[in-house]
Amino acid sequence: MSAPAARSRAHHGRVNAPDHGLFGELFGRGPAGPSDQDWLQALLDTEAALARAAERAGLAPAGAGAAVTAVARADRFDAAELGRRAVLIGNPVSALVRALNDLVPADAREAVHRGATSQDIIDTAAMLLARRGIDAIDADLRAAAEHTAELARAHARTVMAGRTLLQQAVPVTFGLVAVGWLTAIDDARRELDRVRATRLAVQFGGAAGTLASLGTRGPEVAALLAEELGLPEPVLPWHTDRLRIVQLAAALAGACAALGMIARNVTLLAQTEVAEVAEGGDAPGQGGSSAMPHKRNPVVAVLILGCTRRAPGLLATLTAAAEQEHQRAAGAWHAEWETLSELLRVTGSAASWSVPLLAGLRVDAARMRANLDAAGGLLLAEHVTAVLAPALGRLAAHDLVAAAAARAAARGVSLSEALLADAATAARLRGAGVGEADLAAAVDPAGYLGATAEFVRRALAEHDRIADGT
């Protein structure tokens, strides 16, 4: 890569720390969400790369690409003024090109914006910002996955109540819960990686997708532009084919779905009446309330949810905007810019918050066991039915255990007590050869975990394979 191209690559990071304002520290955590300055620099990086490409193709004087690259720095431009002038054509590119022309030597101006239309510059800038955003999101997801894998290994045998429809179901382990989180994160990372590698592409089609102003040299310049920016060159311009944007948005929303699921589980398990997990963190006042001094709210999980709940609406907007007219959309394309920025921002923030959430999550194994035991063995009703089925038949065993479970719940006794306290039921148990020791074994949560250990092993092995890059 040329020295100017290398210098341009250096601009791809965040050029200025944004003014986060009142809510930015909550919902703009991490570097994935582009600021106005980031957008401006990405637009300038695209223009500079195009100037270098034009020079390499022999369509601009020697040194023109370097001259444009030298001044293509966001701190040399007034973003607010460019925004005010953007209303004249509906986007800021024309104003930017004029300002850029004013800064470069006269003999280099021929290289500025050569053959391009505004959409080429904005779409390519969006791809640069998406690439940078995905890299930042993936770094946080990778760290979150490692912390989740540690939780799974530490609690592979920590028995807890499984819950379906928010009610206690059959026993699981917290290790199984954690690998469920882990595989969701790993799957989200895989999809983001696929999109980054195959769906981010340079945009260069000129006024109506023909590159007519470059004659027969258009495809050559497009290929050089892609090389300068390190983006794939598509088969043809994609001005109104927005599937790339939809797939990018879907991958970001998928990451939000995975992180939102984890955060929601944490809020449920951290409820006072459940208290099986708690957030870490010892910052003074963390998790506090403005009105209730006793509160210890799962604030990090809440902030993740505050981000992830926005993703479906943003995805819907970008999907709706994908229906575009002819060779240039009237409004739908314009709807993408801020929407995609916001989706990158909230996904990046959720991923960033997930790292401290999972790194500091406190698991109360004793409380998990106590909540299991509080059910009095009712969670093992399915197991008891399976034990009795060979002697009584499955339906008869089901009805017998269902009746005993109802008595146990009504009287506040355990399932074993309810089975043995009823003379007719006790007689049927004796006839089936099921004694008190058998019944005690049947209601032991640790004895009814099925393939849990194998699922945990497989999930961790797959995660390790992904982490090793194999």
Is 341 known to be catalytic?
Answer: no
Of 9, 328, 367, 407, which is the active-site residue? 328
Is 289 known to be catalytic?
Answer: yes
CA 214 – CA 58 distance, rounded (Å): 11
Helical pair 243-269 and 311-320, crossing angle rounded to 10 deg: 160
Structure tokens at 244: 């790339």
CA 333 – CA 242 distance, rounded (Å): 9
Strands 167-173 and 277-278: unpaired
264-299 b/e (C-beta count within 10 Å ≥ 16 → b): ebbbebbeeeeebbbbeeeeeeebeeeeeeeeeebb
CA 211 – CA 221 distance, rounded (Å): 10
Of 289, 296, 458, 465, which is the active-site residue? 289
- Catalytic residue ranges: 289, 328
